[in-house]
Amino acid sequence: MSSFVGKEIPQATFAEVPYTPALDDPKACAGPPRKVQTHEAFKGKKVVIVAVPGSFTPTCHGNHAPGFVKDAKKFADKGYDVWIIAANDPFVQSAWRTSLGAKDEVHFATDVDLQFSKGIDATVDASAHGLGIRAARYVLIADDLKIKSLDVEASPGEVNVSSAELAYGKL
């Protein structure tokens, strides 16, 4: 994946239900999702994009996303916004954010049609598990739309190169 380092991030659409305090109640209905165009939203910014194959799945929910939620302030202190993306719909992503105790310190969004993940050749076929094509597990660090680092797991069930700790060390 080092072939993508130095190149521009894919132009893609994310969908996100923005955090509001009402969403702290897991029974609250989320508001309408907003569309986020990567090139508009991330121009001039530093971002850490964390992709997971599926919200609420064992590795994603127990071993991967919690580290980024826990360390969100550390990333912010270095000037980075953290986005956790998946193929799941934005309402599932919103509920997942709530279940992990995150608020607005981390964005939980949908990689609409996997445009972003396909743009960096980071998808996985989970059809054998009834999940279809999903984002691979990866972490991408970008500054003003340029990819500084991209680490994709060899297997979607592993968190060996895409942990919050390793990503933070690359800032």
* pTM for this prediction: 0.95
| DSSP designation for 81 | E
Residues 6 or more apart in contact with residue 75 via CB below 8 angstroms = 48, 68, 81, 82, 168, 171
pLDDT tens for each residue of 44-92: 999 999 999 999 998 888 889 999 999 999 999 999 999 999 999 999 9
- Give the pLDDT confidence score for residue 1 in this predicted structure: 53
Q: Which CATH class is domain 2-168?
A: alpha beta
CA atoms within 13 A on the CB side of 17: 22
CA dihedral for 135, 140, 143, 147, sign (positive or negative): negative
Q: What is the pLDDT of residues 3-45, one digit of tens each?
A: 899 999 999 999 999 999 999 888 888 788 999 999 999 999 9
Predicted local distance difference test score (pLDDT) of residue 25: 86
Q: Is it the case that residue 144 has pLDDT exceeding 70?
A: yes
Q: At residue 124, does pLDDT exceed 90?
A: yes
pLDDT category of residue 129 using cuts at 50, 70 and 90: confident
161: left (phi over 0), alpha (psi -120 to 50) or beta: alpha
List, by residue number, the catalytic residues: 60
**CA proximity to 116, closest of 36, 59, 25:** 36
Contacts of 119 (CB under 8 A, 6+ apart): 9, 10, 11, 12
Residue 117 main-chain phi, psi, to 5 deg: -65, -40
* 3 state DSSP class of 148: strand
Mean pLDDT of all residues in 134-163: 96
Residues 126-150 have a mean pLDDT of: 94
